[in-house]
Structure 1
Amino acid sequence: MIDPVLQSPELRLAADSNQVLNYHRDPHNYITQVFGAQLPAIRTGFFNVHLTKGIIVQPHWHTNVNEMVYVISGEVITSVFNPFTQRLMTYYLRPGQLSLFPKGWFHWIIAESNHAHLLTIFDQPTPDIVYGSDFLRSVPKEVMQRAYCVNEEDYARAVAPIRESVILGPPVGCGRDS
């Protein structure tokens, strides 16, 4: 069966990955994208990620996609938590190298050099993303106390600075070089 998108008289087979800004932390740390909305014929999708040293793509997971990280320039560390072995798997990547984050596995990326440029490529045209910052600020302090014996006030104080989704961190003004 031929895909109806490919039969369309308005078929486009090219897109500009710089046109759609997904997230902007500052002029050197930002994410652009190409997904099905920008290129209907695409069966995958990707984020075009630009980072400077010390910036982190915050811990998160995807409910519906596998993610491959491909380094174009610079150096990054990728880390993923293996839920089967209960171990953290960490990789130091340079240009031309890649790592994989399986669907549902908690992961993050840290830039180890200035001007790191990478693609995060997904096996579906639109990823669902659960950000660690959203999870942390949404779990009631009473639940953390009951589940983990964490002092309620300590937890509330620890997550108080997280007021919104943090995609590229640390948040500007958190006391580190930003």
Structure 2
Amino acid sequence: MVSNMDYISPNAQFTFDMNQSPLFVKDSQNYINVLGVKQLNTLQGSSLLDIFLSTNNVVEPHYHQNAAELVYCISGSATVNILNPFTKQLQSYTITPGQVANVPQGWWHYEVALVDRTHLLAIFDAPTPEVVLGSDILRFTPSSVMAHTYCMDEQTWKDAIAPVKPSTYIGPYTDCDQPPSPPAQAHTYYPMPHQHYPTY
């Protein structure tokens, strides 16, 4: 890889404290820190999200248009849920410390913490992780388009998505007044050693 970085420049950065780079903070137990080329200018071809979650908190459904993602579990346990665009099936993988799940570039996915103090590291093969969030798709696509497309009453659609806040990142909201329903129990999860990822 050819680099335009001047590694002898006094401006070349070789260390960075990710604790100083929050991407999203829900509360003291649920937050995401980011590291990309904007934070560490000598970084090439990779970036990171440092993700902290408590039980049943969800990194909202999303996709990365510019990168594949490798999710590594540092502590706790989480499910990485991936919509396979070829089979149209939702594949769910439970990971625990030392285990990883791979999300190919552009695939719709989300993560759910199964226990408190879950710590995940998301590693990307791009210098800045770009993202399209489900909450942004729902809020910014005109209601008239969604209602027409899916043969719905427009007001019904508007009422359904009214609670959705743009750029949610980690749900549910702290002011959510519905009883918690653990999304982790919505699917069948298989042990990691029996899973087979697509090869390209």
TM-score bucket (shorter structure): over 0.9
Unaligned runs of 5+ in 1: none
TM-score w.r.t. the length of structure 1 is 0.93
Map 1:1-178; keep pairs closer than 5 Å: 3-43=4-44, 44-176=46-178
Cα distance change, pair 177–8 in 1 and its aligned pair in 2 (3 A): farther
| Aligned residue identity for 2:53 | L
| Aligned residue identity for 2:176 | C
How far apart, in 2, do the equivalents of 1:142 and 1:37 lie?
A: 38
Deviation at 1:163, TM superposition (A): 3.2
How far apart, in 2, do the equivalents of 1:2 and 1:64 lie?
A: 19
Kept after mapping to 1: 8 A contact 2:36/2:129: no
Identity of aligned residues (%): 37
Deviation at 1:5, TM superposition (A): 3.4
Unaligned runs of 5+ in 2: 181-200
TM-score w.r.t. the length of structure 2 is 0.83
| Aligned residue identity for 1:45 | S
Cα distance change, pair 95–19 in 1 and its aligned pair in 2 (3 A): same
Deviation at 1:53, TM superposition (A): 0.2
Deviation at 1:153, TM superposition (A): 1.9
RMSD of aligned residue pairs (Cα, Å): 1.7
How far apart, in 2, do the equivalents of 1:130 and 1:5 lie?
A: 32
| Aligned residue identity for 2:47 | G
How far apart, in 2, do the equivalents of 1:13 and 1:137 lie?
A: 39
Kept after mapping to 1: 8 A contact 2:81/2:91: yes
